[in-house]
Structure 1
């Protein structure tokens, strides 16, 4: 039989290398500058911006695939729309687009994968998928970490204790679920207005305007921000998500300087 590999890798070595490098990354992620809960478009944009600015960023993604709601486009028609205002930013991402009717049309799968790639190629950014945030750490009147369990354990409802990851700031970019914001609101009885009806023009403005610091060390972006402040939903248009992520990164950097 012809051999095609000069350096074969055994089954055990595969397992050993995966465990070694995964847990090196996981151990290093226990203390960071920023934890981003949810690897959707606003979170990935913020992660890239923060990472490029020298901050140590950890993304906790509940699902198997990061990218949020971008992959399927609209009704599985895999195109999304972005405002012409973001043309220079898409070029920066090396993301091809078609200009049509004063808007930019982008392949949704390429959009998601390029956001992921650009964020994770940043040296300071690490992403862990299948990780569900179940609680927040609160110290000295500020959010200082997240409590995380494996998504499979959470789905199965098993009684297995989670782990704590400490940080200087937490960004909730979990979309319609607003997971971290809801956890916080249950503890301090903060009213959440929930997202409003569909309106693309208003929703895109709301997404950016509602991006803010919700509490000391806790920030919201994207649809999570609209869930907090009652902003409109907007469907498969993503300029607001990009601008929200950029704004969140700026707010977080300003906050960390004061901590």
Structure 2
């Protein structure tokens, strides 16, 4: 199935050597040479199936120039709009005793400033190139790498909670430190997160340092919009000429509305269309593994395998190597994938990496 959608650059998964939970090290031979270069890859195949020619005009945009793979993070980043130069804290301190006061404002100005921007975002991202469901460590890591390397794509991130980050704000058993096995240190270095080197693994002094840094980086990308306090209630589907179903977007609602469907009158949802949906909602729970559970009720997969017991050395390779497009248009990664395949659970949360730098797709039609 995948072969009909995607073609590879001169790199093969056979060169892939998985070295970490959701992190891998790719050894890639430069064409026409005898040189091999290590490439850190982001979220085990999540964006392996990412279209390289998407936009909202029937998804027919010019192909990007062939990437020169020097490092896994050797990509262009669209700069965020520079903040307006304002007064410094020193300026305020000097005037503290000289009648310091905030600038005047009307309540209606505040309301209009918020609502105008939010509804403009709803309009802009109603047709997206990619929708990422879930803004935990997997979803945010995926958004970071895609936003960094593909500023031409509109990426909507949907998070049910008010606070993005999932369980990645703390380490195991609510402890502070976050442990990552090498070569995850390359991802931390790219983010600018300090860590302690312990040989085969590294330690970030507080998981919140990693998550807050990653989140702030994602939010600065002009082509990414985070819709938090928003849940995915269903999947948009399309049927091809052969009767096969593909995923064509998501059905959304305020999370508080979703939680009260049983005790309130019917409250209709909203939608976002996209040719690619990446589901990273975690293991089974109130909102976890939602997309794959919906696939079962839609008869697109027979049943879920169910997450197995803890085995880090088995689980991490399994999730990385098996991350894939479960049905056309829906890629599943992270612990949600363990519910599909019956993979083992893991002890801690880490960045999720995908080897999409060297993978391109033929143009997709608007679903």
Deviation at 1:3? 4.8
Separation in 2 of the partners of 1:184 and 1:258? 22
Q: In structure 2, what is the Cα distance between the partners aligned to 1:255 and 1:152?
A: 38
TM-score by length of 1: 0.91
The answer on whether the counterparts of 1:60 and 1:129 sit within 8 Å (CA) in structure 2 is yes
Pairing 1:75-154 to 2, within 5 Å after superposition: 75-106=173-204, 107-140=206-239, 141-154=245-258
Per the alignment, residue 51 of structure 1 pairs with 147
Quick one: structure 1 residues 185 and 254, their matched pair in 2 at CA, closer, same or farther if it must change by over 3 Å?
A: farther
- TM-score normalised over the length of structure 2: 0.65
1:257, CA displacement in angstroms? 3.6
Larger radius of gyration: 2
**Partners of 1:200 and 1:256 in 2: CA distance:** 36
The answer as to 2:291 corresponding to 1:180 is yes
Partner residue of 1:163 out of 258, 270, 275: 270
Q: Where do 5+ consecutive residues of structure 1 fail to align?
A: none
CA distance, structure 1, for counterparts of residue 220 and residue 291 of structure 2: 26
Greater relative contact order, per chain length (Cα 8 Å cut-off, separation 6+): 2
Q: Is the 8 A contact 1:169 1:256 kept in 2?
A: no
Equivalent in the alignment of 1:41: 137
CA shift digits 1:169-217 (9 cap, x unpaired): 1011000121111112210251210111011221211221221100100
Structure with the largest fraction of helix: 1
Question: Aligned with 1:123: secondary structure?
Answer: coil
SS in structure 2 at match of 1:5 = coil
CA contact (8 A) 2:305 2:341 kept: yes
- The answer to whether the 8 Å contact 2:134/2:279 transfers is yes
State the shift of 1:101 in Å: 4.3
